A and B are shown apart, each in its own frame.
Chain A
């Protein structure tokens, strides 16, 4: 946009790279007492455009990346691994980051997730325990605004109620409940980062039903909340400023070198740097920052930057009943099941079950994509909508060094930088667990007398768009990239706030843990600046 000053700022204490949830929270916390600048590769979106973005989400003419102005040249990537990875469906670049299109489920990891090696016999332990993160989880729930209930007997202990009451269970939850009760399977509420009542200056959910990929009302949390708050405290946010590399000496990052739309490259100096670019762009930036001092990339003395790329695997089954199921009124989930989560061991991964409120087609979507209209269309809509029912599951995959993000020297982005190559692989334990999840899902649907019409199993599973593991945390600098406070082992003034620091993935949607870790890292950054 013409007239926007994207010049570097002098006297900056903290430069945050990435304006997603981690970057937004860090910026907001540190802006209380420090001079903060935030750089983001993508644009600042106008909140007034959200209804138009919603129309894109509904209309078949637009693909998912179109909703938030994905740019194929800016966002170019490769996916040459054993498993294809649809990266640009999995992220949003811009102020707010991927929370702009996320689902908004916010569960805490279970206690054993922090001790996978010792408790389950696979993968590394985290360098922190659940108890270390517990107060930050509570703070993160307050910051995001979480609607939930303390009704999940399988969840880790919590010290206080959620900030807002849980959403009421859906009608289809009640159908599932009968079958689950018969089978001895427990259902419980799903914590949602969307307002069940007004929260701060954001309204309660009004039921647009398009949560993923856009919430027009703003009732679903996104990171613009904290970016805006950081700005109100004096932080400077520069959009459309992709950081090209981190200038550094032997021990410290000295500046973020960023490009601006006018073709210039600028240099933002700061005392501390927080890289918060997600699980793909974070390792890419470190690898792009290679130097004579660090020929394999910055913060990469372990050789592990980019390694251990993980996502959650989806498993699901659905069908139809001979009665109405009332789907697609809202775009979020209200019930889940963690009953089988902590049975995980070397052979079976943790997984959680989800009870869908939006299985089957949406009538308006069907109306726009058929070859019919008039009475014929209405007849088809009535035939195809109304009795679908389905379940999903998220499954942990193990960290594997060969599953990784590298630079692709054969392809460059709009600034001439090698693009990320997501070389994704999935372990056999995860595939076995998908089968296990399918078994339970099928049992439940058969108890409902559903006619099964679809299944996503090990052969056709896909990612949940949760990028994790590529700059893992640990105590040993030869086995990890950042320490328990998320500071890089190699550079004393550089932190990484991202799911990229997860040593293992668990099977919970990661954003609440990202937020809790970001708040914890902010404390460490702040302490270092005293």
Chain B
């Protein structure tokens, strides 16, 4: 039977996700999926029971602390370079006193929230809560946390040098421009690299990793169990 692929998705908040909705609208999915009760057996001798159709997912764009916890569940609290010692932070490399002011965890949270407002799509809301929750895990310990703190401080130093204000005091447009002036847009991430490469690694990609490895971030793209998230073994069997 030829499948019907014209069903349009809809979105509505569920009971646990009603807070901090700034922009709630259905994800723009241009192609629908087969009906929930459709079953298409594998050909030949296959004896599978058929394909589960559990209905269309409900789609949201607001982020919550729960989403931050999901992101941490996906990629861990301490970061790839922390527990297993692949990399060194600038602090480790250079030794001795750091040349710039340390960033307190509050400042790291505020700065990364400000950057997230640039690098996250406008469809998401609840950024401050999401980033704060995510960083609770990521800043808890280890070399990765130090790398984040150092790099945030360095980015803030650039902001003060070039704009005479901290990152958090810049407009969204200025933050975007600052990141590009640093070179974080075209740089490849590298925890041991140049300023641009470290900003890309510890700031921009730290935030993008948190978002797009979480179910909410994945849903923005059309994948509710993105790579890195332990979302179970049902979603891959469903058409939507």
Contacts and interface: CB of A to CB of B under 8 A. Distances in A.
Interface in B200-240: 201, 204-205, 208-209, 211-213, 217-218, 220-233, 235-240
A136 B110 CA distance: 60
Interface stretch (A176-184, A250-258, A297-305, A412-420): A176-184
A22 to B, nearest CB: 26
16 contacts: A62-B86, A69-B84, A151-B46, A168-B237, A186-B46, A187-B42, A205-B233, A210-B228, A329-B225, A329-B235, A330-B233, A364-B212, A364-B218, A369-B188, A374-B118, A374-B176
Contacts, number: 241
A382 B179 CA distance: 24
For the side of the interface on B, what is the size category?
A: 35 or more
Given A323-B5, A324-B240, A362-B227, A52 B40 contact: no
B105 interface: no
A443 to B, nearest CB: 14
A335 B46 CA distance: 10
Contact of A59 (B205, B233, B236): B205
Nearest to B76: A51
Given A61-B201, A377-B121, A362 B226 contact: yes
B47 A151 contact: yes
Main secondary structure of the interface of B (DSSP, over half): loop
A52 B83 contact: yes
A328 interface: yes
Contact of B48 (A189, A205, A207, A210): A189
B231 A169 contact: no
B78 interface: yes
A322 to B, nearest CB: 7
Main secondary structure of the interface of A (DSSP, over half): loop
A356 B237 CA distance: 13
Contact of B43 (A186, A367, A369, A385): A186
Nearest to A196: B233
Contacts of B17: none
A208 B228 contact: yes
A322 B239 CA distance: 14
Interface of A: 46, 48-49, 51-56, 58-62, 66, 69, 149, 151-153, 166-171, 173-174, 177-178, 180-181, 185-189, 196, 204-210, 216-217, 322-324, 326, 328-331, 335, 339, 357, 362-365, 367-369, 371-375, 377-378, 381-382, 385-387
A48 B83 contact: yes
A58 B233 contact: no
Among A168, A188, A217, A377, the most chain B Cβ lie within 10 Å of the Cβ of A168
